[in-house]
Structure 1
Amino acid sequence: KVWDQRNYLNLDDNVQLGIRNIKVALRRLRRFARQGAADELDMNDTIRSTARNAGLLDIRMVPERHNAVKVLLFFDVGGSMDPHVRVCEELFSAAKTEFKHMETFYFHNCLYESVWKNNVRRMNERTETWDILRKYGQDYRVIFVGDAMMAPYEVTHPGGSVEHWNEEAGATWMQRMADHFDKLVWLNPAPEDHWGNGGSLGAIRTLVNNKMYPMTLSGLEDAMRFLSK
């Protein structure tokens, strides 16, 4: 429970993707809209308007099309997640290019009363989980990334965190997230045949209504398909 004994690094969003298909899978979660200043040529409307204008060029502009889907991305860092840093960085890089409206947070093992955006300053710059529930609407798509491998009491009991005293169990906070957001999934980088049905992984899987998917191409596609409904 001594914060100073653990040092985590932020994920690098500039990593070149080794698994290009991650981007392809994420593209299933798209809902385009035109927003902002009109700075993109609308060729079809320009032709129609010019024809109506007796051949005098009448240029028409429209806002650029962006993916309007809004995403909250939570990464588990440290401990048993260390072997999965590379694939998490690949996912992070792909997500940043695909989602214009995305906020990223970090947690360790299980969600508790606060998360953070910068691992270097995580001891004194934290975001209250209640603030996330108040600030972000139900239309946000929520993605947790973690192996869900921990002592079961870290999920089920107050004081279960290995780093600080949590007044309420991690399960309580996960349930609040699942109740607030209509679309929530958990991506697990651990091999699916290692999951099992009990322990902390079974508890997390139940809390996310069995919407836990392996971080494979088919798993990502299934997760994005659910989030896009």
Structure 2
Amino acid sequence: MDRHRRNQPFGAYGYNPEGIRIGQDGSRHRRATKVWDERRFRDYDDSLELGTRNIKMALRRLRKFARQGALEEFDVDSTIRETAKDAGLLNVQMRPERHNAVKVLLFLDVGGSMDDHIRVCEELFSAARSEFKHLEHYYFHNCLYEGVWRNNLRRGNERIPTMDVLHTYGADYQVVIVGDAAMSPYEVTHPGGSVEHFNDEAGGVWLKRLCETFPRLAWLNPMPPRAWEYTYSTQLIREIIDDRMYPMTMEGLETAMRELAKK
């Protein structure tokens, strides 16, 4: 009887590979296809001081990326100095912009299995916020659907239609998605597959639209690459985004930034 109860598709604190979780204070096996509870996520901290050597090195890679193709701006101090040296003959001096005009759209997976990676996500978010003058960020859960949000405390009331995001920013924006890509495959492949709500279109449909709108895209995955092959949803997403998924390591970030810098 107890064994039968543990395997029932509805309830809490049991095990079912495709169950619906109700009345449980957190995830245990991360197998639920639906969660019928109010879930509260918190925003990532974009003011966090970077604390590890690898993330600091990644920040340098982001800086290098930000300066590629930088426009020049008028350097007032150098122009005055060089003009004085030339006995008043105007000698205009230019310099690379301190903050590049690179435009970045950052999509952050939050909640659920991503709770294991809060620290590294906050460090990356903080680095990106400090480096990119034109940075816009949005949150999602598990997979991209018809709505995203900027504030996790108000995500139930202030969702932004994903289609509006696709129509607001130009193709010159470069997209960075941060997420572990670990979920029920139904979230990627089927309408109604979302763990939290009924989605009219599969998550994979929205990911394809994102790729079509923004050709320069990279997905950063905090899980090690050796784990990707064991998660079917990760394989599906890699196929949709043309295998532009990179680990959140120094080498992975460098490769991702190089990919984004391609014309």
Same-fold status (TM-score > 0.5):
yes
TM-score w.r.t. length of structure 2? 0.78
Task: Identify which of structures 1 and 2 has the higher relative contact order when contacts are C-alpha pairs closer than 8 Å and 6+ apart.
Answer: 1
**Is it true that 1:105 corresponds to 2:143 in the alignment?**
no
**Is it true that 1:42 corresponds to 2:77 in the alignment?**
yes
Residue of structure 1 in register with 2:200 after alignment: 167
1 CA distance for matches of 2:86 and 2:246? 54
SS in structure 2 opposite 1:7? coil
From 155, 173, 177, give the equivalent of 1:144.
Answer: 177
Residue of structure 2 in register with 1:208 after alignment: 241
1:186-201 equivalences under 5 Å are 186-196=219-229, 199-201=232-234
1 CA distance for matches of 2:62 and 2:198? 36
**CA apart distance, 1:164:** 0.9
Residue of structure 1 in register with 2:71 after alignment: 33
Residue of structure 2 in register with 1:158 after alignment: 191
SS in structure 2 opposite 1:187? strand
**CA apart distance, 1:34:** 4.7
**CA apart distance, 1:60:** 7.3
Q: Percent identity?
A: 53
RMSD: 2.3
Specify the structure having the higher radius of gyration (Cα): 2
2 CA distance for matches of 1:202 and 1:103? 27
State the 4+ residue runs in structure 1 displaced beyond 3 angstroms.
1-4, 51-55, 58-65
2 CA distance for matches of 1:209 and 1:197? 18
**CA apart distance, 1:59:** 10
2 CA distance for matches of 1:73 and 1:171? 18
2 CA distance for matches of 1:82 and 1:24? 26
Deviations 1:14-44 (A, max 9, x none): 2111231121121232242356xx7x6331x
SS in structure 2 opposite 1:72? strand
Indicate if the aligned counterparts of 2:99 and 2:131 stay in contact, CA closer than 8 A. Answer: no
**CA apart distance, 1:61:** 8.8
1 CA distance for matches of 2:85 and 2:51? 49
Deviations 1:123-180 (A, max 9, x none): 0111111111111111100000000000100110001111111100000000000011
Residue of structure 2 in register with 1:96 after alignment: 129
Indicate if the aligned counterparts of 1:33 and 1:65 stay in contact, CA closer than 8 A. Answer: no
Question: What is the one-letter code of the residue matched to 1:21?
Answer: M
1 CA distance for matches of 2:229 and 2:94? 51
SS in structure 2 opposite 1:174? helix
1 CA distance for matches of 2:249 and 2:235? 19
- 1:48–1:5 Cα change, 3 Å: same
**Is it true that 1:22 corresponds to 2:22 in the alignment?**
no
2 CA distance for matches of 1:154 and 1:222? 28
**CA apart distance, 1:191:** 1.2
Q: Which has the higher strand share?
A: 1
Unpaired stretches in structure 2, ≥5 consecutive residues: 1-33
Residue of structure 1 in register with 2:162 after alignment: 129
SS in structure 2 opposite 1:29? helix
Unpaired stretches in structure 1, ≥5 consecutive residues: none
Deviations 1:73-110 (A, max 9, x none): 00000011001000000000000111000001000000
2 CA distance for matches of 1:47 and 1:23? 33
Indicate if the aligned counterparts of 2:182 and 2:231 stay in contact, CA closer than 8 A. Answer: no
- 1:133–1:216 Cα change, 3 Å: same
Residue of structure 1 in register with 2:214 after alignment: 181
**CA apart distance, 1:207:** 1.0
1:41-120 equivalences under 5 Å are 41-43=76-78, 45-51=79-85, 54=88, 65-120=98-153
2 CA distance for matches of 1:78 and 1:65? 35
- 1:42–1:62 Cα change, 3 Å: farther
Which deviates the most, 198-207 or 136-145? 198-207
SS in structure 1 opposite 2:98? strand
